[in-house]
């Protein structure tokens, strides 16, 4: 068989018909010949031809039964089958096409027409195979892109957690530093008093001064340790929820304030202020970690995009209840977002600060978190010149 030529299998019980078709097509194609349906199916399975020409009236099994076997075997079901038959009624043609034939040629036929039809079918089959191959490749490329995107999003969450850890470590530095300095001061003055006592040189005024010093220092150590303990508590609360795994009932006002405590080093550094206004007794059932990721992203965005070099911006988190829903608004008083940008900001990888190394994933993560975790919705009002505003609505219990 000529390797380069496309292969046509002719299944016909009449030797004359087979010889005629063979003669007609052998110049352009490699030809296989079978003289009944069973032999035809066997050869099709063995050689996987590009096209099958099938007679209808044959002994043993006829063309209709043969095509049923071909179309039910997935190894060969995609090979186009063309009936070529002396039966020329419209009904025969309909049955043939209904059984999955690609075309139906009645005898007697004009040879150039047969050649042209077969050529067209083979071209369209080639195109179909090409499209199928490209679609498969595109699907694989899409899956792999999606996978990379998910990995990037996961990585971004870790970066956020890393930033939190760095921020809290920085914040803890001050109270713990104060505690250490004060405690070592206490040790020094105690040593001095102890020496004076041993040498019998301890005066009442010195002792009074020492007692005052102990009092001041222990107050300072206590407040530093309390501040450290508060910071650690907030951090534990916010960081432990980063896995977003545990659903619970919690006080939203307290939780939002804990988030701001953890973000405090960043907020202080930025020179902006962030206020929370939330009903004090509002308890919701949801995934608390989702809120810390959302608020941190909003804050970082306002800080990075809203104010250029300006400090003293004001951000407000305003929470209210509407029926069974909670509405959380985050707004800043920066430059706002134009309506052209507003349409794109939730898309993955959309950023206006690519050249500053931003990935454009923050608001995409926020969007997914709101929709998939809070089971709510989010919209943005860009308010150019006045400040962007993000409105999130979610059920108070999920």
Ligand X SMILES: Nc1ncnc2c1ncn2[C@@H]1O[C@H](COP(=O)(O)OP(=O)(O)OP(=O)(O)O)[C@@H](O)[C@H]1O
Q: Please compute Rg for the chain using Cα positions.
A: 40
User: Does the protein bind ligand X through residue 54 (CB under 6 A)?
Assistant: no
> Which residues, 6+ apart, have CB-to-CB distance to 209 below 8 Å?
none
Structure tokens at 327: 């509405």
CA distance 346 to 368: 9
Contact 388, 336 (CB under 8 A): yes
Question: Applying CB under 6 A, which part among 147-155, 223-231, 283-291, 329-337 lies near ligand X?
Answer: 329-337
- Contacted by 360, from Mg ion, ligand X, none: CB < 5 to 8 Å by type: ligand X
Using the minimum distance from each CB to Mg ion, give the nearer residue, 102 or 301. 301
> Which residues, 6+ apart, have CB-to-CB distance to 22 below 8 Å?
10, 31, 33
Using the minimum distance from each CB to Mg ion, give the nearer residue, 20 or 300. 300
User: Does the protein bind ligand X through residue 332 (CB under 6 A)?
Assistant: yes
Of 301, 335, 383, 389, the residue at the interface with Mg ion (CB under 5 A) is: 301
User: Does the protein bind Mg ion through residue 362 (CB under 5 A)?
Assistant: yes
Measured CA to CA in angstroms, residue 68 lies from 23, 100, 274, 373 at distances of 28, 8, 73, 50
CA distance 307 to 335: 6
Locate tokens 């047969």: which residue? 114
Question: Applying CB under 6 A, which part among 68-76, 103-111, 180-188, 299-307 lies near ligand X?
Answer: 299-307
CA distance 57 to 36: 10
User: Does the protein bind ligand X through residue 35 (CB under 6 A)?
Assistant: no
SS3 of 296-313 = HHHHHHHHHHHCCCCCCC
Closest CB 302 distance from ligand X, rounded Å:
4
User: Does the protein bind ligand X through residue 37 (CB under 6 A)?
Assistant: no
Closest CB 161 distance from Mg ion, rounded Å:
16
User: Does the protein bind ligand X through residue 371 (CB under 6 A)?
Assistant: no
Question: Applying CB under 6 A, which part among 32-40, 135-143, 259-267, 327-335 lies near ligand X?
Answer: 327-335
- Minimal CB distance residue for ligand X: 362
- Contacted by 153, from Mg ion, ligand X, none: CB < 5 to 8 Å by type: none
Closest CB 347 distance from ligand X, rounded Å:
8
Question: Applying CB under 6 A, which part among 103-111, 113-121, 205-213, 331-339 lies near ligand X?
Answer: 331-339
The values of phi and psi at residue 285, to 5°, are -115, 110
Locate tokens 């929709």: which residue? 371
- Contacted by 292, from ligand X, Mg ion, none: CB < 5 to 8 Å by type: none
Of 337, 370, 373, 392, the residue at the interface with ligand X (CB under 6 A) is: 337
Question: Applying CB under 6 A, which part among 7-15, 220-228, 316-324, 361-369 lies near ligand X?
Answer: 361-369
DSSP 3-state of 295: helix
Contact 297, 390 (CB under 8 A): no
Beta-strand relationship, 314-322 and 325-332: antiparallel
Contact 66, 45 (CB under 8 A): no
User: Does the protein bind ligand X through residue 260 (CB under 6 A)?
Assistant: no
In the complex, the residues that contact Mg ion under the rule CB under 5 A are 301, 362
In the complex, the residues that contact ligand X under the rule CB under 6 A are 301-302, 304-306, 332, 334-335, 337, 341, 345, 350-353, 358-364, 388
């Amino acid at each position: 068989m000529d390797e380069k030529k496309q292969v046509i299998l002719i299944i016909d019980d009449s030797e004359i018909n087979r010889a005629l078709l063979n003669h007609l097509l052998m110049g352009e194609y490699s030809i296989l010949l079978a003289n009944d349906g069973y032999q035809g199916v066997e050869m099709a399975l063995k050689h996987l031809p590009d096209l099958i020409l099938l007679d209808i009236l044959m002994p043993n099994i006829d063309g209709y039964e043969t095509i049923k076997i071909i179309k039910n075997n997935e190894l060969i079901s995609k090979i186009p089958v063309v009936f070529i038959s002396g039966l020329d009624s419209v009904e025969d043609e309909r049955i043939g096409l209904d059984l999955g034939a690609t075309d139906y040629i009645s005898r007697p036929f004009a040879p150039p027409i047969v050649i042209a039809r077969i050529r067209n079918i083979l071209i369209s089959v080639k195109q179909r195979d090409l499209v199928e191959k490209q679609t498969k490749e595109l699907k694989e490329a899409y899956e792999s892109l999606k996978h990379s995107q998910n990995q990037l999003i996961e990585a971004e969450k870790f970066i956020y957690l890393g930033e939190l850890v760095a921020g809290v470590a920085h914040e803890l530095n001050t109270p713990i530093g104060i505690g250490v300095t004060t405690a070592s001061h206490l040790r020094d003055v105690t040593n001095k008093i102890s020496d004076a006592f041993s040498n019998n040189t301890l005066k009442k005024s010195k002792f009074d001064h020492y007692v005052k010093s102990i009092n001041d220092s222990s107050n300072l150590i206590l407040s530093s340790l309390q501040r450290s303990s508060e910071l650690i508590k907030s951090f534990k609360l916010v960081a432990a929820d980063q896995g977003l795994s545990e659903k619970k009932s919690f006080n939203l006002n307290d939780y939002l304030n804990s988030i701001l405590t953890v973000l405090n080093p960043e907020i202080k550094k930025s020179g902006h202020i962030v206020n929370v206004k939330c009903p004090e007794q509002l308890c919701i059932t949801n995934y608390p970690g989702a809120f810390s990721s959302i608020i941190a992203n909003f804050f970082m965005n306002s800080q990075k995009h809203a104010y250029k070099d300006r400090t003293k911006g004001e951000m407000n988190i305003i929470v209210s209840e509407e029926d069974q829903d909670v509405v959380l608004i985050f707004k800043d008083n920066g430059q706002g977002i134009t309506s052209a940008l507003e349409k794109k900001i939730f898309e993955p990888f959309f950023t206006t600060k690519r050249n500053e190394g931003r990935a454009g994933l923050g608001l995409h993560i926020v969007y997914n978190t709101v929709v998939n975790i809070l089971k709510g919705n989010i919209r943005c009002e860009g308010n150019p010149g006045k400040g962007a505003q993000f409105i999130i609505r979610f059920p108070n219990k999920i």
